[in-house]
A and B are shown apart, each in its own frame.
Chain A
């Protein structure tokens, strides 16, 4: 894990504060204790100060650890050949990766693939295809669901704070509560093109929806002539166990959406893997949905190498998942005053604090002690723990020792604040 010498930290943060989002730059400076990121390997990131921190954050991207060698080799191969595509000639990486995904997810059913870069690209594509296919300009999503922040994705993301400023421009989406008859009731009220659902809600607080609820919703959506889109951008590819949670649970989705780790933690890549029915609008008009960098060769090369790593994740998963489950349970027991609830599904752990402020403090305290973790985007009282599958037992123990100390310190600050406030 080495990096060439970089610019002075002061210069980096001055530039970031002046020209990027200042509020994010400030947080990054605290989390890095004044330093910025320079290199990474496995579950660890090296800072410009020479310090090394554990990475249980990174928006869930480095599932295979940072810089997995086979992915780096595949990307180097693409760089040496043809890293961008003409788009006018066939690109072998995209074609072969599409075939691999079709064979992997739900063979024979989910046979068509569309590639994007960010997760939101996949969400936009899937919604657009579903609306075009059904002719119904309306969709259902779920309370607590997160699907991204571009306009179409934001329309289905359940986050009043982020939707508010652009509300009038967002498409027609209804958010249903996690109740068995919610989709049937919505269908009785008005037709919809698709139900988009995360089988395990990530940014909504790391919450797994019950499989029987998902199956009932899927059946009710299909009965209403609508399609089912499983957003597994965060929970899929074995983060939460199966390659596709929805397929494994018998939900019979019309598409599974993948992203984040799909590019091997090295390249940006997302995909919609769906039925020929969902993709029918592209059979009618091949140029109905295109984007300059869709099917980027270097990204698809990374994706092909990443899929080869999934068996390794399956092998490591039980041990890391068990350590994660134990760790969050111990945290809850040790800090009852500030930890309200904990849960974990595979390699997605969640610590729900009693409030957003104490969760924010805990994240800052953890960063300065050497562990990166983030608050859930639409449920900021919840801190998500996303260990890479390659996390060792010693690293997991170090992470929870840091979290324990961070909770103690955050709790003291909150207690003192309370007494200052009342005194």
Chain B
């Protein structure tokens, strides 16, 4: 697989994370912003955080995130930061647009260009 430059890859993290959070949040927000708190604002709990972890692992090739690690991530911005760091360290890869589109289709939602 060709080496993506870390900076170029990291740029693409936020929109994808926002999209997945929007799809999976128990209390969905019309537009997801970095300051949204996963548990308090968006209603995530242990099971749905596991689901979010699965999705992000699939899309970014991350190693297993524990539900407890996910619990330590307070806001959407924290999640983006975690993945950007992993991409920068080559422990994850940028999500491919085709895979993101496929994920959205599976969940029966249109990809929202606003992220």
Report yes or no: A412 in contact with B64, Cβ–Cβ below 8 A: yes
Of the candidates A23, A34, A361, the one whose C-beta lies within 8 Å of that of B108 is A34
CB distance from A65 to the nearest CB of B (A): 26
Report yes or no: A409 in contact with B64, Cβ–Cβ below 8 A: yes
Binds B, one of A5-13, A87-95, A308-316, A328-336: A5-13
Chain B contacts for A49, CB-based, 8 A: 105-106
Assess A420 versus B64: contact at CB under 8 Å? Given A9-B108, A30-B50, A34-B108. no
Report yes or no: B51 in contact with A29, Cβ–Cβ below 8 A: yes
Report yes or no: A26 in contact with B67, Cβ–Cβ below 8 A: no
Which of chain A's residues has its CB closest to B103's CB?
A: A34
Chain B contacts for A26, CB-based, 8 A: 26, 47-48, 51
Chain B contacts for A51, CB-based, 8 A: 106
Report yes or no: B68 in contact with A35, Cβ–Cβ below 8 A: no
Report yes or no: A420 in contact with B47, Cβ–Cβ below 8 A: no
Report yes or no: B107 in contact with A413, Cβ–Cβ below 8 A: no
Report yes or no: A413 in contact with B47, Cβ–Cβ below 8 A: no
Of the candidates A9, A11, A368, the one whose C-beta lies within 8 Å of that of B54 is A368
CB distance from B38 to the nearest CB of A (A): 15
Q: How many A-B residue pairs have CB under 8 A?
A: 65
CB distance from B31 to the nearest CB of A (A): 17
CB distance from B98 to the nearest CB of A (A): 15
Report yes or no: A10 in contact with B107, Cβ–Cβ below 8 A: yes
CB distance from A301 to the nearest CB of B (A): 36
CB distance from A80 to the nearest CB of B (A): 35
Assess A10 versus B108: contact at CB under 8 Å? Given A29-B51, A30-B51, A364-B54. yes
Q: Is A85 an interface residue (CB 8 A)?
A: no
0 or 1 for each of B36-63: is its CB under 8 Å from A? (1 = yes): 0000000000011011001000100001
Chain A residues with a Cβ under 8 A of chain B: 7-12, 17, 23, 26-27, 29-30, 33-35, 48-49, 51, 361, 364, 368, 409, 412-414, 416-417, 420-421
Chain B residues with a Cβ under 8 A of chain A: 23, 26, 47-48, 50-51, 54, 58, 63-69, 72, 103, 105-109
